[in-house]
């Protein structure tokens, strides 16, 4: 069951939260693994992730992200992630962010509650140290969106 703040979630992210909440911890881990395979490859302009993207040091595996914000108007946000295929938890978290937030207006991304990920129920499936990674991803995404829209 989602928290009252989940009403602020974009529909794609809310749907993911509902999907995770509807299953037990073991199935949540399997869903996270499946999502890790869905993370899109980087476009050529981000081929050298370490030099062109921001590293999320809180992630247990190397994860880099870039945020592009469109021109005036609804200011759509596009997200790009680089994480090794051998890091399915980190890739799964990145895929949650990508699926739920890519293409959303900047204001919508900024309105996502900082702790939305608790409603995914992953605390029963992964360590708190790993959950710091998804929290840090969202914080960095929001920071880059704020910087681009200031």
- What pLDDT digit, counting tens, does each position of 61-116 carry? 999 999 999 987 678 999 999 999 999 999 999 999 999 999 999 999 999 999 99
Rounded distance between C-alpha atoms, residue 141 and residue 136, angstroms:
8
Task: Count structural domains, the chain.
Answer: 1
- Percent helix, strand and coil across the chain, each to the nearest 5: 55, 10, 35
Q: Helical H runs in 22-127?
A: 25-36, 49-52, 88-101, 106-111
User: Residue 4: pLDDT band by 50, 70, 90 thresholds?
Assistant: very low
Residue 3 has pLDDT above 60, yes or no: no
In eight-state DSSP terms, residue 104 is -
CA 49 to chain centre: 17
Q: Which domain holds residue 55?
A: 4-149
Rounded distance between C-alpha atoms, residue 48 and residue 98, angstroms:
20
As beta bridge partners, residue 65 has: 54, 81
**Which CATH number covers residue 72?**
3.90.1010.10
């Amino acid at each position: 069951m989602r928290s009252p703040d989940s009403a602020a979630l974009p529909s794609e992210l809310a749907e993911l939260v509902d999907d995770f909440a509807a299953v037990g911890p073991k199935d949540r881990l399997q869903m996270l693994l499946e999502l890790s395979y869905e993370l899109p490859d980087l476009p050529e302009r981000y081929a050298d992730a370490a030099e062109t993207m921001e590293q999320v040091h809180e992630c247990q595996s190397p994860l880099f992200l870039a945020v592009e914000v469109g021109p005036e108007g609804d200011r759509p946000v596009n997200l790009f992630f680089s994480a090794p295929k051998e890091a399915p938890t980190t890739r799964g978290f990145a895929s949650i962010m990508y699926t739920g937030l890519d293409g959303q207006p900047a204001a919508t991304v900024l309105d996502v509650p900082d702790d939305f990920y608790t409603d995914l129920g992953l605390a029963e499936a992964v360590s708190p140290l790993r959950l710091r990674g998804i929290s840090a991803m969202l914080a960095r995404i929001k920071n880059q969106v704020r910087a681009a829209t200031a």
